Chains A and B, each alone.
Chain A
Amino acid sequence: MSDDYLRKPFSLAPAPAVDDPQTSASGNYTPATSTFSSAPVSPYLNYDSRFLRQAQPEFIFPEGANKQRGRFELAFSQIGTSVMIGGGIGGLAGVYNGFKVTNALNQTGKLRRTQLINHVMKQGSGTANTLGTLAVLYSACGVLLQYVRDQDDNINTVIAGTATGLLYKSTAGLRKCALGGAIGLGISSLYCLYLLSQESNNNTNSSPKFL
Chain B
Amino acid sequence: MEEYTREPCPYRIVDDCGGAFAMGCIGGGVFQAIKGFRNAPSGMSRRMLGSLTAIKTRSPVIAGNFAVWGGMFSTIDCTLVHFRKKEDPWNSIISGAATGGILAARNGVPAMAGSAIIGGVLLALIEGVGILFTRISAEQFKNPSPPTEDPAALGDPSSFSFGNPTSNNKQYQ
Binding site for B on A (CB under 8 A): 69-70, 72-73, 75-84, 117, 125, 128-130, 132-133, 135-136, 139, 171
Q: Is the CB of B60 within 8 A of A129?
A: yes
Cβ 8 A contact of B21, one of A69, A72, A73, A136: A136
Residue A136 contacts which of B11, B16, B22, B68 (CB distance < 8 angstroms)? B22
Tell whether A171 pairs with B52 under 8 Å between CB atoms, given A72-B4, A136-B25: yes
B87 interface contact, C-beta 8 A: no
Interface CB pairs A-B, < 8 A, 30: A69-B3, A73-B4, A75-B18, A75-B22, A76-B4, A77-B14, A78-B18, A79-B22, A80-B17, A80-B19, A80-B67, A80-B71, A82-B18, A83-B18, A83-B21, A83-B67, A84-B14, A117-B106, A125-B68, A128-B67, A130-B60, A132-B18, A132-B25, A132-B64, A133-B25, A133-B59, A133-B63, A136-B25, A136-B26, A171-B52
Interchain CB contact (< 8 A) of B63 among A76, A117, A136: A136
Q: Which residues from chain A contact B71 at a C-beta distance below 8 Å?
A: 80, 83-84
- Interface readout for B1-42 with A: 1 if CB under 8 Å, 0 if not? 001100100010111111101100110000000000000000
Instruction: Flag if B15 contacts A132 (CB, 8 Å).
Output: no
Minimal beta-carbon separation of A61 from chain B (angstroms): 19
CB of B156 to closest CB in A, whole Å:
23
Return the 9 tightest CB-CB contacts between A and B, nearest first: A80-B18, A79-B18, A80-B14, A80-B17, A129-B60, A76-B18, A129-B64, A76-B19, A136-B25
Give chain B's interface secondary structure class.
helix
Q: How many residues of B contact A (CB 8 A)?
A: 26
Q: In the bound complex, how far is the Cα of B13 from the Cα of A55, in angstroms?
A: 39
Contacts of B46 in A (CB 8 A): none
B18 touches A133 (CB 8 A): no
Alpha-carbon separation in the docked complex, A81 to B11 (Å): 10
- Cα–Cα, bound, A76→B25 (Å): 12
Chain A CB count within 10 A is highest, among B4, B11, B26, for B4
Report yes or no: A73 in contact with B3, Cβ–Cβ below 8 A: yes
Q: Do residues A77 and B67 form an inter-chain contact, with CB atoms below 8 A?
A: no
Please tell me if the beta carbons of A77 and B11 are within 8 angstroms of each other in the complex: yes
In the complex, chain A residues whose CB is within 8 Å of the CB of B16: 76, 80
Interface centre among A78, A125, A128, A129, by most chain B C-beta atoms within 10 angstroms, is A129
Q: How far is the CB of B13 from chain A (nearest CB, A)?
A: 8
Q: Is the CB of A77 within 8 A of B7?
A: yes
Complex alpha-carbon distance, A128 and B66, angstroms: 12
